[in-house]
Amino acid sequence: MPYPFADGDYSLALGLAPMRGDTWLDFDEQYVPEMSEKARRLRDEYDSVFLALPGSESGQAETLELLLQHLVAFYPERFRIPDGPAGLDGSGHIENLTNGERWDTADFEDAPLDLAARLVQEDLCLMSPRGGDIYVLSAGSVCFPLRWELRDKIGLPLAAIHQPVPGYDEKLATPADLYMARLKPHRPSWRCNWNVVDSPDLYLRQSLHPQDGIDGNITQENAGTRLWIRSERQTLRKLPKSGDVLFTIRTYIRPLSVLEGFPALARGLRQALEKVPPEMRQYKNQLGIRKPLLAYLTRIGG
């Protein structure tokens, strides 16, 4: 799990860095329970967690092909394509050696991104060019959102997707659009995002966890077990055939108490929280927990 607050800094910035190809995806001990949760969301609320616009099929297919090639190259102990090299173009079967699932790619001919997301812990979003430097969200499999709804974002350009974020329009809208347009297929990148939340659920939809629903019984004594660090590792890569940009979001959740015994990390989080502007504190839903959270971090981190 990344701890991007470790240096005690906070700023509203793209924060993108070059990414090595072999670090694109991350598998850990949470794979089985998280994939089970994904499967449940897709079964019970498919139209909420997977959406795709007409015309996005080529980018979706390219995503699946790229993902399959990556999985069998870097994780042969986890995935196998029984059809051999001929199946690497997304036209065969994929076996998940961890949970025993076997998928026929032909069953996902109309929604290849759906199958791609059923193989990895990451949520997947496809951004497609619409002229100039504008990219719109054309397809997504988002099972673990942080208080936003895929149906509210599908079809929107990057700036409109991030419209609720304080300062995004003034500071990040133009740089983000330019970055997407200029991104090269051979130069993928990554960034991190983080927050402190009052629920261990990966699936934090706005309708299930409204921002005014903070538990008022959180104190500095119980904050370690009543609050959670939510960290996101996000990657961007340009798809060479379609020109779409694939955006992945890997979400990690750990109880705040994991910082006990790591005073430097606790101090880093406290210092970063103190630098978050008031309007961003409200957006991140930190106002109701700020006082006990800072007191707890001061106690364990000094």
For residue 62, the model assigns a pLDDT of 96
What value does the mean pLDDT take over residues 55-66?
96
What value does the mean pLDDT take over residues 218-243?
96
Proportion of the chain above pLDDT 90, given as a percent: 86
Q: Which residues pair with 194 in a beta bridge?
A: 231
How far, in Å, CA of 125 to CA of 140, rounded?
4
For residue 136, the model assigns a pLDDT of 97
Residue 209 predicted with pLDDT over 80: no
Task: Give the chain's mean pLDDT.
Answer: 92
Q: Which residues pair with 204 in a beta bridge?
A: 146
How far, in Å, CA of 6 to CA of 23, rounded?
20
Sequence ranges of the domains in the chain: 17-301
